[in-house]
Amino acid sequence: MKHTILALLTVNGLVGQLALGAMADPVDGSRTLTVHPSFPACFQSPEGQPLLLIGDYTWGTFSDVDYDYAAMLDSLQAHGLNFARVWLWWGCEEFPGLTDRHMVMMDRRFVVPYQRIGPGAAQDSQPKYDLSRFNPAFFDRLRKLCQAARVRDIQLQLILFDAWMLKHPHLWKLHAFQRDNNVNGVDADPANTGTGTDGERGFCSLGNPRALEAQQALIRRVVDAVNECDNVLFEIANENFYNEQWELRLCDFIHDYEKTKPKRHLVLPKDLPNHKGVVQTWDSRRIHAALLEKRSLRRPLIFDTDWEINPNDDEVRRAMWAAALSGGHFNYMDDSRQIGREHQGDYRGTRRASLHRQIGYLAAFMRQMRFWEMLPDDALVKAGNAFAMASTNELTAYLPTGGNVTLDLSKLTGQLEARWFDPKEGAWGAKFAVQGGRPGQFTAPNGNDWALFLRNYTGSKGPSPPARVQATAQAPSSVRVIWAASTADVGAVGYRILRNGTPVGTSVLPSYTDWGLEPEKSYAYTVVAFDLSGDSSAPSAPPARGTTPARAKFCQVGLSAEDIAERLKHVTDPDGDTRATTAGGTDCREPASAQDHYLYFAIDDGYLHNEAGLTTRLEVSYFDESGFIEPQYDSVTGAYTSAKRIQLTGTGQWKTATWTLTQCRFANRQNAGADFRLFVGENRVKISRIKLSIDLTKRRE
């Protein structure tokens, strides 16, 4: 048989993750992203479904103080991607604008996990790090990043330490673990090599007890911050070439520590191989061979491109398709998403928009089939240049150079339905019939790369209704809906979510978070699946109900050496650090220096998040000396909307000022993920208490 198909059908712009299969029922609250017990080449989602990870990431998503991670995650979600690798900290507060073969004006500032309070100055002329005192803003930002990824169904690989910078003397001298930069006597270069690369007693070693103790203390705080998150896995270090046993020891440390915690997480490289341990090449044949060879590990294998920036979209596309058709996962290191002078990117990676679409097309193609049941097998390709994988019901092949291919269809009996897919344009060819049970010859539409998908034809007219729909209130304003993915003769490509019978959104994922709801109300959800042909399933039945809890009428925080927080947190930023003090016999906080012009505050997202149009009443208790207070809040019109400034009058008494803030949004868009801040300029204004009362009757329609 020989088939040449030229007609193409587009995917209507829908790309993404469609993890079909049975969902664990009920959902276990302790479940996290893990290795699938029955299909170990795949991950298992927290909901119990087989999961293929396909993603895109850059260096500064979390670590860079001015990086808008929400915009970056929105871009991933728009392309149907579900994975990102994240550096937590590089070891210092700022990369200088130096030029060498590795960096061109790499001028970047980082969120740091430690407080810098001295005494004494570090080599960057700032106060020394105190490795025993942690920076709450770092962990607040980390928690919010993980939560933001979770509501977008994105899994995060969190890198705890970076070992790349250890080998650069001009960067190592700025590292917090360099002896001159901390007040704790930690010296991760006792041999005076001028770097942190000593595998015996350096940063990545087991022969430096003080450094190891400090690393473990930081790990404990990170685990405490994100243990509740089911969408993360940990990576001990990026590019540790110095001591593998150090990494494995820290993997064990995390596993032991999490035995006392509600959730357990995967840790690289103990549970999965690091990216350098999988394959690093753009050659599709070598990628295929390496992934097949390593399937004996019985672990998911991630083809991660963190070894070279490749500007050639065609080469990247062929590499990622070879990985996926060899049973692997894919994560692209993307300089186009890195802001700053060196890479001149943006949060959405506009410069590589075409590549992002192509990564999304791969996600759409792979996840409309039962990928977890399919095994890559060179014996499936009898002639031609192709990679193929199959189950007893499906077969897919990738032809990196087009042309002719002969496939073994002996295990797919009866009449089959086949389609060509264009990986570059995301377009499907028309359906055509193929007889199974014998070899089949196929000719790609042209000499470009093409994918072919074959499935047993059952005569089904459309997808089945999504099953096991569950609706769970996450907060007074949101309900999360999950379901077991639909099946069809050609897989579902998306879902419509209906609230009380009215469509409220679509998803390419078997989950959806419905925001902007009223507290103390019950909502009924149904889900409809639709396929490539436009056929829709019947609505899921019966409706799943979620009831939002009551919302407290206010949130507040008392400021002192140990803040007392009720749904409102005081967070810090490089332009808004504070210190504890007393005034008039009352504990309070004031700006740490004249350069700290702001006091930042973040509302707990579970209490209130991104509800445009709210009216709130802000109360600030302050000690009346000199200066001014000007609230600046996240509103519908901007992230830093100013309220009326009040002048302090010098009475030397405690007073309370009140503002009515209208059209509030509170979407964590300020520095450090804050929702509002108090601008005080260079004045050491003392604040003891902040209270925010919410008027739900004045929401913008």
Q: How far is CA 193 from CA 103, 161, 659, 680, in A?
A: 22, 20, 57, 45
Decide: 110 and 92 in contact? Cβ < 8 Å.
yes
- Whether the pLDDT of residue 51 is over 70: the answer is yes
Q: Looking at residue 336, what is its pLDDT?
A: 95
What are the DSSP calls for 646-693, one per residue?
EE-----SEEEEEEEEEEE---S-SGGG-SEEEE-TTS---EEEEEEE
Residue 304 clears pLDDT 50, i.e. is over it: yes
CB contact at 8 A, 554 and 563: no
Question: What does the pLDDT average to over 227-235?
Answer: 96
Residue 490: pLDDT over 70: no
Tens digits of residue pLDDT in 541-555: 999 999 998 877 889
What is the rounded distance in angstroms from the CA atom of residue 530 to the CA atom of residue 456? 19
Q: Which domains does the chain show, CATH number per domain?
A: 88-271 (no CATH), 371-456 (2.60.40), 467-547 (2.60.40.10), 554-698 (2.60.120.260)
The β-bridge relationship of strands 83-87 and 155-162 is: parallel
> Mean pLDDT highest for which of 133-137, 197-201, 362-366?
197-201
Q: What does the pLDDT read at residue 547?
A: 94
- For residue 690, pLDDT over 50 is answered with yes
pLDDT, position 603: 92
242 phi and psi angles, rounded to 5 deg: -115, -35
Residue 30: pLDDT band by 50, 70, 90 thresholds?
A: low
Structure confidence at residue 700 (pLDDT): 39
Please, which residues have CB within 8 angstroms of residue 83's CB and are 6 or more apart in sequence? Answer: 53, 54, 55, 56, 57, 154, 155, 156, 157, 329, 331
Provide, for the chain, the percentages of residues in helix, strand and coil under a 3-state DSSP scheme, each rounded to the nearest 5.
20, 35, 45
- Tell me: pLDDT of 52 over 50: yes
Q: State the pLDDT at residue 249.
A: 98
> For residue 538, is pLDDT > 70?
yes
pLDDT of residue 484: 82
Phi and psi dihedrals of 494, rounded to 5? -175, 175
Residue 497, both tokens: 């979510």
- What was the pLDDT predicted at 491? 60
pLDDT of residue 185: 97
Residue 268 CB-half CA count within 13 A: 26
pLDDT score, position 389: 97
What's the average model confidence in pLDDT over 3-21? 34
What pLDDT band is residue 13 in, cutting at 50, 70 and 90? very low
Please tell me which residue, 103 or 347, carries the higher pLDDT value: 347
**Is the CB of residue 253 less than 8 Å from the CB of residue 216?**
yes
First CA to last CA across the chain, in angstroms? 61
Task: List the 492-499 sheet strands across, edge first.
Answer: 502-507, 492-499, 522-531, 544-547
Q: What's the pLDDT band for 488 if we cut at 50, 70, 90?
A: low
pLDDT tier at 339 (50, 70, 90 boundaries)? confident
* pLDDT-derived band at 15, boundaries 50, 70, 90: very low
* pLDDT at residue number 97: 62
Top pLDDT among 345 and 232 is at 232
Residue 90 has pLDDT above 60, yes or no: yes
**Residue 235, φ and ψ in degrees, nearest 5:** -120, 125
Report the pLDDT averaged over residues 292-303: 96
Q: Would you state the torsion angle of the CA atoms of residues 69, 166, 223, 255, taken in this order, to the nearest 10 degrees?
A: 130
DSSP 99: B
Do β-strands 302-304 and 329-333 pair in parallel, antiparallel, or remain unpaired?
A: parallel
Of all helices (H) and strands (E), which one includes residue 524? strand 522-531
- Report whether pLDDT(121) > 60: yes
- What pLDDT score was predicted for residue 487? 60
**CB burial class (10 A; 0-12, 13-18, 19+) of residue 334?**
buried
Centroid of chain to Cα 79 = 14
Cβ 11 vs Cβ 427: under 8 Å: yes
CA 407, 411, 414, 418 torsion: positive or negative?
Answer: negative
Alpha helices in 198-334 (DSSP H): 209-226, 244-258, 284-293, 313-324
Q: What are phi and psi of 181, to 5 degrees?
A: -115, 0
What residues are paired with 407 via a beta bridge?
381, 440
> Which among 385, 250, 249, 251 is positioned nearest to 321, based on CA atoms?
385
Burial class (CB in 10 A: 0-12, 13-18, 19+), 567: middle
Residue 533's pLDDT is 62
Q: How confident is the model at residue 220 (pLDDT cuts 50, 70, 90)?
A: very high
Q: What are the contacts of 456-460 at 24+ separation with CB within 8 A?
A: 456/393, 456/394, 456/412, 456/413, 456/414, 456/415, 456/416, 456/417, 457/414, 457/415, 457/416, 457/417, 457/433, 457/489, 458/489, 459/489, 460/488, 460/489
Q: Is the pLDDT of residue 106 over 80?
A: no
d(CA 115, CA 118): 9
Mean pLDDT of 298-302: 97
Phi, psi of 589 (to 5 degrees): -135, 155
Mean residue pLDDT of the chain comes to 89
Whether 76 shows a pLDDT value over 80: the answer reads: yes
pLDDT band at 590 (very low <50, low <70, confident <90, very high): very high
CA atoms 525, 529, 535, 540: torsion sign? negative
With bands split at pLDDT 50, 70 and 90, how would you rate the model's confidence at 377? very high
Reply yes or no on whether the pLDDT at 24 is more than 60.
no
For the cut 60, the answer to whether the pLDDT of residue 295 exceeds it is: yes
Question: Per-residue pLDDT for 202 more than 90?
Answer: yes
DSSP reduced 3-state for 622: strand
With contact defined as beta carbons under 8 Å apart, do 257 and 215 qualify? no
Average pLDDT over residues 588-592: 94
Mean pLDDT within 658-685: 93
**Rounded to two decimals, what is the model's pTM?**
0.74
Please name which of 678, 603, 691, 667 lies closest in space to residue 148, comparing C-alpha atoms: 667
Residue 33 contacts residue 231 (beta carbons within 8 Å): yes
175 band by pLDDT with thresholds 50, 70 and 90: very high
- Average of pLDDT values for 262-275? 95
331-339 mean pLDDT: 95
Half-sphere exposure (CA, 13 Å, Cβ side) for 600? 27
What is the distance between the alpha carbons of residues 71 and 445, in angstroms, rounded to a whole number? 38
Q: Are 489 and 455 in contact (CB under 8 A)?
A: yes
For the cut 90, the answer to whether the pLDDT of residue 532 exceeds it is: no
Tell me the DSSP string of 209-222. Answer: HHHHHHHHHHHHHH
The contacts of residue 122 (CB under 8 Å, 6+ apart) are: 116, 128, 129, 174, 180, 181, 182
pLDDT digits (tens, 9 = 90+) for 395-436: 999 999 999 999 999 999 899 999 999 999 999 999 999 999
Token output for 173: 């001298």
Number of residues that make up the chain: 701
Angle at 529 between CA 528 and CA 535, to 5 degrees: 110
- HSE toward the beta carbon, residue 287, CA cutoff 13 A: 30
pLDDT at 6 over 50: no
> Which pLDDT value is given to residue 4?
36
- pLDDT at res. 620: 97
- Using CA atoms, how far apart are residues 668 and 604, in angstroms rounded to an integer? 10
